[in-house]
Structure 1
Amino acid sequence: MRTVLITIIIIMITMNSISARKGVFGKMESIKEIQELDVSGPKGEDLYLAYRTSSSFFIAGLYFKDHGYVLGIRGQYNSYYPLDARRIAQLQEAGQLPDPMPEYDIPWKEYLFGYSGWLILPLLFWRLLLFFKNMGDDTTERKKLNDIPEWNYNMGLKNYNPKKGRPDYKSAFKLFKKAAEQGHIEALYNTGIMLCKGQGIEQDLDLGYKYLTMAEQKGHKESAIVIKKHQELNQK
């Protein structure tokens, strides 16, 4: 499906560079020569028999129409004199237009370009649906990960001690605290230490030692050492 979309876009770009020349919004007219004529315009212009087509588009083609015969003005891009049935008959009687009028074939690429929007829009809509669906899946997956203490703890470590750039203590504290509330022993210790130091959060010794005590109760040895040192300092 992606290959088809890319192919259509390449065709559009190629045709746009050949025949549009006016951007990708609004209406485009095209004059294609059918045959030379021994006829001059009212201002002495060199005229030729041509057919005129037009397409309406918004980035891609939305509508295409064959307007029939016109008298093209040589040397003036997309300039012409209109021809209706009455005018054609008059010029044929005067021997200035062939009788019968020559047939012409519009290349299939012009129709493809003219209606390309109706091919691309469904594909773009489908891609948008997939994009928003994947966004929803990513959000759901992230919510699931947020429920995993180890994931929150590891993400906290990445913010606290990144391989590149400066530490983000504020984000690290939030993640450690979340993992701590989920019972992660190392996160309890890190949350306590950051509270005691005032890293990423306003310093709060009482709350910090509360977290360290919870870590100690779960068997965290370093927490026990920090608490013991704190008690010794208070006794002096």
Structure 2
Amino acid sequence: MRNIILFWLISFVFANSTLNALEQGKSSYERGDFKSAFELFEKSCNEGNAKACFNLAVMYDKGEGVKKSKPKAMQYFQKACDNGEMQVCVLLGVIYEDLGR
């Protein structure tokens, strides 16, 4: 029982840190601090947060704080989809259809 409680406690703290990084990233992005936003989104994305992966994709797609890169954008769109962001999966389908794939 003690191990189960410890597991849930660690999971809760981990989820909060991921969400916190995402929220801090959004705040940085809104202030135009793209370098900080990118670092925070990347941290959160690497921890499995699909919304953070989507935000990285948008930054690469627009070239905000990073060198514009469609392949990198697609990579992060795919990662967001793989992490359960269903709207991004639909978006990827539309992009692939437009590309003729």
**Quick one: which of 192, 195, 199 aligns to 2:57?**
192
- What's the Cα RMSD here? 2.3
Aligned residues: 88
Shift of 1:226: 2.3
Q: Bigger relative contact order, structure 1 or 2, given CA contacts below 8 A and separation 6+?
A: 2
TM-score, normalising length: structure 2: 0.74
Q: Which runs of 4+ in 1 moved over 2 A?
A: none
Q: Which deviations, in whole Å up to 9, do the C-alpha atoms of 1:68-112 show, x marking residues without a partner?
A: xxxxxxxxxxxxxxxxxxxxxxxxxxxxxxxxxxxxxxxxxxxxx
Identity %: 25
Distance 1:218 1:229 in 2: 18
| Structure 2 portions without partners, runs of 5+ | 1-12
Matched with 1:151 is 20
| Structure 1 portions without partners, runs of 5+ | 1-143
TM-score, normalising length: structure 1: 0.34
Matched with 2:8 is none
Matched with 1:233 is 98
The structure that is helix-richer by fraction is: 2
**Quick one: which of 198, 201, 214 aligns to 2:66?**
201
The structure that is strand-richer by fraction is: 1
Q: Residue type of the partner of 1:227? A: L
Computing the radius of gyration from Cα coordinates, the structure with the larger value is 1
Distance 1:232 1:176 in 2: 28
Residues 1:215 and 2:84 are matched in the alignment: no
